[in-house]
Structure 1
Amino acid sequence: YISKEIINEAYLFNPRNAYQNYGAAANRSDRTIHTYMGTLLPNCGNVNYSTSGALSPLINDPYLRTIGIGTRIFLGGTQGYVAWHGTQHNPSRPRGENGLPFQNAASLALIGDLKQMSTQFIRAAVMEGYGVSMFVGVGIPIPILDEEMVRYAAVCNRDIYTNIYDYSVPSRSRPVLAKVSYETLQSGTVVLEGRKVPTAPLSSMKTARAIASTLKQWIADGQFLLSEPVAPLPTTASPQNLEIVGGA
């Protein structure tokens, strides 16, 4: 067997991480469906959501003032870096008055030393009936530069909203079933189409708190130095859709 202990280098380069908000998922069809958002029960039997709400890094810096290329971060239990903007990076999404988008907006491409990572913060995942994935723990320190950054970093779950989408419909035309706060999602139920529906997170709040606590301690102990980005990330980019063209 090959293990990370017997090879010279092992790097993790992950091209899409730490989405700035993400839509929640439900299923209005009459059959169970298996998605990257987990198993969705028929007739809106459950709602699954991602993102750790107020602990999510890009929620605390909605316009990427302190996060850019070269920013030092917590990645999988060790130190890593922001390498580039992530795939499907779309900071041009509609936003609320607090600057936060209502659906997936910015994302990050990250790199770090896989040999130094811990299975406490990076793990394989299997989405039943869909495929394999990976849980990656990410933490980013947000320097408080001025009063504006204080307001952004003080955001609460009751002020962060996301859309619930019907995943039984193809991705480009999924209807929005409701707009809800993370406070409501994290309460365990939402009201959808007139009835209470259970919710479940794909992101672990316990692990998110552990990451924040660990990163805070590293900084306090002088083991982790804040770094200014060497270049900003795009703040107006939006991805293009690839059209499937038939041919012989």
Structure 2
Amino acid sequence: MAEHQVNKTIQEINDRIRRGKAVVVNAHEMVEIVRKEGKVRAAQEVDVVTTGTFSPMCSSGLLFNIGQQPPVMKVSKLWLNNVPCYSGIAAVDAYLGCTEPSEDDPLNKVHPGRFAYGGAHVMEDLLRGKAVHLRAEAYGTDCYPRRELDKDITLADLPNAVMFNPRNCYQNYNCAVNLTSRTIYTYMGPLKSNCANANYATAGQLSPLFNDPYFRTIGMGTRIFLGGGTGYVIGEGTQHVSKPQRNERGLPENPSGTLMLKGDFKQMDARYVRAQSILGYGVSLAVGVGIPIPMLNEEMAFFTGVCDADITMPVKDYGYDYPNGIPRQLTRVTFEELKSGEIMVNGKKTATIPLTSYSMSLEVADELKAWIERGEFLLTEKVADIPSY
């Protein structure tokens, strides 16, 4: 007997979540379900697949408001723990970029580019309840007469604090090696000479955009797990590539889709928002992002059945090629091979080093799964598509 086509709605799935009847699995578990049961039976049995990633996401930051105190002020320059913030927004609104370094970083003075403290550290300090020093300057006007402000603040003192990330969750990315005869320092971490290591990112089969490669369910308005709190997709991220080259499963073969995200920073947890100092490059922020994929039909079950062996990533030279803007593809490797700890590049065995924590990515997916199972998190309909064709 032929299997019937599956056709669910998000409203129906949410009703099952409310009644405690929804079947929720993480993306790691879904691989085996689809392999054993097939895509139609998997779509019938499963309601939601949770994905997760925990990785450095440099295009992240904090949009915040410091509030007013008499005499009022129109801030033109602002620092938090001596990290400059952008203040050309409104009277007391500012944006703190996670990669912005402290102006008095002692490590940077001795070794330029080797920052020890920056915007990401300020964000983590705030989440941990620590006080940070706020310093602000203004030119003064009749309506905003104050010219200086100097005080310690905590996250609770900020009337508004929103994590606003212009580019997160790359759909695929390069695996980086270095073919030169010297160690180089990059946003992919230190790369030793003569192809001694290969650094890579993404969470493979757990990664959100590998589980919905054509953005069938992910779009503007999608509710997500962001940094331990609830967040939303607000559109495609910067550098989004809408028409990438794809393999037979529809998976992009090069860096492609990205997401722009926002969430209430005061809800977040420092476990899922961690500052990083990348030697010789600067500061970054590891962010936990989890996105639920509703099993609307067998097509979505097929997509969420993606496994590490299905995902291939380009290996590119960051020594000679990348700085000159012409990174050649040396080879392609599967994510399964990268996770094994060793790949072959130009006939040489090369150790692989992940920048993304797979264990933390799985924890993100499982935490989101628990929220849904407890009825604390409902799915949302996207209100606008993200370009994918």
Normalising by structure 1, we get a TM-score of 0.93
Question: For 2:174, which of 23, 37, 54 is the aligned residue?
Answer: 23
Match of 2:361 in 1: 208
Q: Secondary structure of the residue that 2:156 maps to in structure 1?
A: coil
* Separation (CA, whole Å) in 1 of partners of 2:386 and 2:253: 20
- Per-residue CA shift, 1:44-74, capped at 9, x if unaligned? 0100001000000000000000000000000
* Aligned equivalents of 2:242, 2:297: Cα separation in 1: 22
Question: Aligned residue for 1:229?
Answer: 382
Q: Relative to 1, partners in 2 of residues 1:133 and 1:171: Cα closer, same or farther, differing over 3 Å?
A: farther
**Which ranges of structure 1 fall in alignment gaps of 5 or more residues?**
237-248
124-133 vs 65-74, greater mean Cα deviation? 124-133
Aligned AA (1:152): F
Bigger Rg, which one: 2
In structure 2, what is the Cα distance between the partners aligned to 1:171 and 1:16? 23
Q: Which residue of 2 aligns with 1:112?
A: 263
Alignment partner, residue 167 of structure 1: 318
Could you list the per-position Cα deviations for residues 168-215 of structure 1 after superposition, in whole angstroms to 9, with x for gaps in the alignment? 122520111110000000111111121211101111011101001000
Q: 1:142 aligns to what SS in structure 2?
A: strand
Corresponding position of 2:289: 138
Equivalent in the alignment of 1:91: 242
Counterpart for residue 121 of structure 1:
272
Deviation sequence 1:121-162 (CA, Å, 0-9, x none) = 111111101111111110000111111111100000001001
Distance in 1, Cα, partners of 2:292 & 2:242? 20
Whether 2:165 is the aligned partner of 1:9: answer: no
Correspondence 1:218 to 2:371:
yes
Supply the distance in 2 between the matched residues of 1:16 and 1:87 (Cα, whole angstroms). 5
Aligned amino acid, residue 294 of structure 2: P
Matches within 5 A, 1:153-192: 153-168=304-319, 169=321, 170=323, 172-192=325-345
- The residue identity in structure 2 corresponding to 1:181 is T
SS of the residue corresponding to residue 68 of structure 1 reads coil
Give the Cα separation in 1 of the matches to 2:372 and 2:163.
23
8 Å CA contact retained: 1:70, 1:230: yes
Q: Which residue pairs with 2:232 in the alignment?
A: 81
Does the 8 A contact of 1:89 with 1:105 survive in 2? yes
Q: Secondary structure at the match of 1:15?
A: strand
- Paired with 1:171 and 1:98, the residues of 2 have a C-alpha distance of 32
> 1:209-244 CA distances to partner (integer Å, 9 max, x unpaired)?
1001000010011100000101111124xxxxxxxx
- The aligned counterpart of 1:151 is 302
Deviates more, 1:193-202 or 1:63-72: 193-202
User: Would the aligned equivalents of 1:23 and 1:102 in 2 still touch at CA under 8 Å?
Assistant: no
Aligned residues: 236
Give, as a single letter, the amino acid of the residue that structure 2 aligns with 1:49. Y
Fraction of identical pairs, as percent: 50
Q: Aligned with 1:232: secondary structure?
A: coil
SS of the aligned residue for 1:51 comes to coil
What residue in structure 1 maps to residue 60 of structure 2?
none
Contact 1:102/1:163, CA 8 A, preserved across alignment: yes
Q: What is the aligned-residue RMSD (CA, Å)? A: 0.9
1:17-96 superposed matches below 5 A = 17-96=168-247
Please state whether the residue corresponding to 2:270 is helix, strand or coil: coil
Q: Which residue of structure 2 lines up, in the alignment, with residue 242 of structure 1?
A: none
* Deviation of 1:2 (Å): 2.1
Q: Find runs of 4+ consecutive structure 1 residues off by over 4 angstroms.
A: none
The superposition leaves residues 103-136 of structure 1 with CA deviations (integer Å, 9 ceiling, x where unpaired) of: 1111000000111111111111111011111111
Q: Secondary structure at the match of 2:245?
A: coil
Contact residue 45 and residue 197 of structure 1 kept, 8 A:
yes
Return 5+ residue gaps in structure 2 as ranges. Answer: 1-151
CA-to-aligned-CA distance 1:78-109 (integer Å, 9 cap, x gap): 10000121000002111100000111111000
What do residues 27-47 of structure 1 show as CA deviations (whole Å, max 9, x unaligned)?
001111111000001110100
Deviations along 1:12-33, one digit per CA (max 9) or x if unpaired, are: 1000000101111000011111
